[in-house]
Structure 1
Amino acid sequence: MEIDATIIVLLLSFSAALIMGFAANKTNFCTMGAVSDWINMGDTGRIGAWMLAISVAIAGVVLMQYFYGISFDSTLPPYKTANFAWLRYVLGGLLFGVGMTLASGCGNKTMVNIGGGNLKSLMVLLITGATAYLLTKTELYEIIFHSWINSTAIDLSLYQIKNQSLDSIILSFFNFNDVDIIRLITGLSVAFIFLFIALKSKDLLNTKHNILGGIIIGLMVVAGWFISGGSLGQQAIEAAEWMDVVPVGVGVQSYTFINPMGEMLNYAASPFDFSLITFGVVAIFGVISGSFIASIFSKQFRFIWFYNIEDAIKHISGAVLMGTGGVLGMGCTIGQGITGVSTLSLGSLLVLGSIITGSALTIKVTSYRIMYEDSTLIDALLCSLVDMNLLTDNFRKYDKV
């Protein structure tokens, strides 16, 4: 029974991820593309789909918490920790946003592209995974980041705040008798805010595939939480404690893809050590498989390689930044931007905003460098910051693009 529960959790994780990959391929759900559409064309259809997915995920989590008693206080990764590492979230999100733009897609889109035959994305996955592996399985993170990142973190427990979730912050200021009701109201209110943002987009409402993509992606994140945190998941967690070889990464979790890319390489180095097969590892293969099936059915599967050395350098640089940013920010556009936000984590919201900012800034800078061939990186960056209302117009050197 112990083995069965663990295996079933992995199989269900693969199945839900397969649906996610299939849906993302068929509906063209892409968070980097969402930011690009918004910045370059003013089209908010895909960013509306992203916001819709977040709304669905939040609503699903708070309803599971209220009606099924599933706890999200201790998760993988620890979204609701009391250690509010704000600089880590901001820097990680910015780096990831820049990286996913250079690499032509976030972690999820990278796997969707692989399923469609994109060999550039396969290279991105391998390099992102290698970067994540080095930062999580060696002392590299400790050497480069730990001391100065850790020194800026805020211990919320010193202020009698249980953790960084919005409901815990609210409960720390008010003495409510029914904690569960406050959590439910808070969660549904935040879900409604994201739904309102999504539905403000006429581009979303005019395209059924964006609506469908957002709903399905959000539901699969909810499914991941239910698989790992429900009764079956709890059986797997309890069973793991009694195993001679404890499986890696057993716990309450849902879909995130950067650290699992590192775990995938870790498993590839020891393919007969089945304890290294994690929820995230099977999810990666699930998304790729779902996208592959969609590509075959739509007859859009084709092999793609780098156009030239500049294209290769851009994607490789983006992969390194995605791996670094994903580890620092403890997630990607799915892992933090939907899964993490669904727990109402303040850090996840910070990562989400930073990813969007980093990606938008990279898109703007690239546009200025293309439009004004003699422009320097600094000039393009300053103009981009002015466009985003982060600097005054005094810093502008070129006309707005």
Structure 2
Amino acid sequence: MIDLVYLSGGKAGLLGLLVGALLGGAARMGDFCTLAALETAMLGRDYRQLHIWGIALGVAILATALADAAGLIAIGHSIYHAIAWNPLASIGGGLLFGYGMAMAGNCGFGALLRAGSGDIRSVIIVAALGISSYFTLSGPLGPLRDLVFPQQPAAGPGGIANDLAGWTGLPPLGFALAIGAVLIVAGLRHPRVAGSAVTIACAAVVGLSVTLGFVGTALLSEGGLAANTIEGPSFTVPVGRTILYLMTATGMLPSFSVGVVFGTFAGAAMVSVWRHSFRWEACDDPRELGRQLFGAVLMGIGGVIAMGCTIGQGLTGFATLAWSGPVTLAAIAAGAMGGLLQLVRGDLI
């Protein structure tokens, strides 16, 4: 008799591989990068990549809200709503992650994209992030994290749309559609974005990959023995899971999150080869490598505390309109901007 858990795991891994390939390939093709968006806006007054981010986020919110309304998913089954929101964890973890992102020169997702383009430094950053995430999740820092940032089940439905609906009496779906539409329209206001069909399409695919993950994992959850849950792309703890899988998972099939990590790397690599932009790169400055490793460790710790990264909270969590999404994303942006200013001033030790 076929083991249903084993079969479900195989399907979940393939689903993750597909979602990751779409996400990684579209991000690489469409210049979707969180740190680059913040850096070009802050230092160069170029807001093009922020507008791309807005389109991707708007599409993710719209598609996720519609999937929830159609009964394809249940947003309340995601970790962003099933676990009670801890504002201190979102702010503290986000600031730590953002500062580490500036020091490392990329977030975990961005490092995977660069690794797929031949950047060996990014492979080291990804490894350090993954190890530090598990060090914080279930390793020596786990008890301290539980003590300072405890996670409790949510008391009931919450989130931005539900709270606004409760305050006004209007339907939550209307608020979700309005927020998503505003973000898309705002993103399209940049002339260089609006004038590029490829950029718009890539941003849309980035957003849709989140909803595809939600819908796919919901269907697998209903048809298997797994708990009834939905999952989208994230790149903190899943990177640690991928490292564990590579070291210990003999005879086991990858989970959804591990498949996403593999798929993102593969998608970025395929686009880089197709665009003839694949180049082997290494770090010849030990001080720079040390700073990047330090930043990767901070990202791993901060991402676990905040329960997500630029993608895990900033895109996936925000797509469900959980309060943790925008608050964590804002904290990440603030931490990154502080780190970038420090790098520009050159006052790092």
Q: Structure 1 length as normaliser, TM-score?
A: 0.80
Closer, same or farther in 2 for the Cα pair 1:175/1:193, shift >3 Å?
closer
Q: Distance in 1 between matches of 2:9 and 2:324?
A: 30
Aligned-partner residue type, residue 245 of structure 2? Y
Matched, 1:322 2:299: yes
Aligned-partner residue type, residue 167 of structure 1? A
Q: How does 1:152-231 map to 2 (within 5 A)?
A: 157=155, 162-173=156-167, 182-229=171-218, 231=219
Closer, same or farther in 2 for the Cα pair 1:212/1:360, shift >3 Å?
farther
Matched, 1:294 2:271: yes
Structure 1, unpaired ranges of 5+: 177-181, 242-249, 370-375, 379-401
Contact kept, 8 Å, 2:149 with 2:305, in 1: the verdict is no
Aligned-partner residue type, residue 44 of structure 1? Y
Contact kept, 8 Å, 2:82 with 2:153, in 1: the verdict is no
Q: 1:308 aligns with which of 285, 297, 301?
A: 285
Q: Distance in 2 between matches of 1:27 and 1:155?
A: 38
Q: Distance in 2 between matches of 1:183 and 1:175?
A: 9
Closer, same or farther in 2 for the Cα pair 1:84/1:19, shift >3 Å?
closer
**Aligned-residue offset at 1:106:** 1.3
Closer, same or farther in 2 for the Cα pair 1:31/1:234, shift >3 Å?
same
**Aligned-residue offset at 1:203:** 4.1
Match of 1:33?
36
**Aligned-residue offset at 1:173:** 3.9
Per-residue CA deviations over 1:89-138 (Å, capped at 9, x if unaligned) read 00111111111122121111111111111100000011000001111122
Match of 1:106?
107
Q: Distance in 2 between matches of 1:163 and 1:119?
A: 44
Matched, 1:234 2:222: yes
Match of 1:343?
320
SS at match of 1:274: coil
SS at match of 1:32: helix
Match of 2:244?
266
Q: 1:52 aligns with which of 52, 55, 65?
A: 55
Q: Distance in 2 between matches of 1:135 and 1:337?
A: 20
Contact kept, 8 Å, 1:85 with 1:154, in 2: the verdict is no
Aligned-partner residue type, residue 84 of structure 2? N
Q: Distance in 2 between matches of 1:101 and 1:84?
A: 26
Aligned-partner residue type, residue 241 of structure 2? E
SS at match of 1:84: coil
Match of 2:76?
73
Q: 2:21 aligns with which of 18, 22, 38?
A: 18
Q: Distance in 2 between matches of 1:286 and 1:154?
A: 32
Closer, same or farther in 2 for the Cα pair 1:209/1:359, shift >3 Å?
farther
SS at match of 2:282: coil
Aligned-partner residue type, residue 252 of structure 1? I
SS at match of 1:7: helix
**Aligned-residue offset at 1:261:** 0.8
Contact kept, 8 Å, 2:118 with 2:278, in 1: the verdict is yes
Contact kept, 8 Å, 2:81 with 2:157, in 1: the verdict is yes
Aligned-partner residue type, residue 186 of structure 2? I
Q: Structure 2 length as normaliser, TM-score?
A: 0.91
Q: 2:337 aligns with which of 348, 360, 365?
A: 360
Closer, same or farther in 2 for the Cα pair 1:170/1:28, shift >3 Å?
closer
Contact kept, 8 Å, 2:9 with 2:255, in 1: the verdict is no
Match of 1:84?
85
Matched, 1:148 2:137: no
Contact kept, 8 Å, 1:116 with 1:300, in 2: the verdict is yes
Higher-Rg structure is: 1
Aligned-partner residue type, residue 108 of structure 1? F
**Aligned-residue offset at 1:228:** 0.7
**Aligned-residue offset at 1:377:** 6.4
Contact kept, 8 Å, 2:188 with 2:194, in 1: the verdict is yes
Contact kept, 8 Å, 1:83 with 1:163, in 2: the verdict is no
Structure 2, unpaired ranges of 5+: none
Q: Distance in 2 between matches of 1:5 and 1:128?
A: 28
Q: Distance in 2 between matches of 1:167 and 1:15?
A: 29
RMSD after superposition: 2.4
Closer, same or farther in 2 for the Cα pair 1:168/1:191, shift >3 Å?
same
Per-residue CA deviations over 1:306-331 (Å, capped at 9, x if unaligned) read 13111111110110011011111111
Aligned-partner residue type, residue 214 of structure 2? W
Q: 2:233 aligns with which of 255, 279, 283?
A: 255
Contact kept, 8 Å, 1:9 with 1:233, in 2: the verdict is no
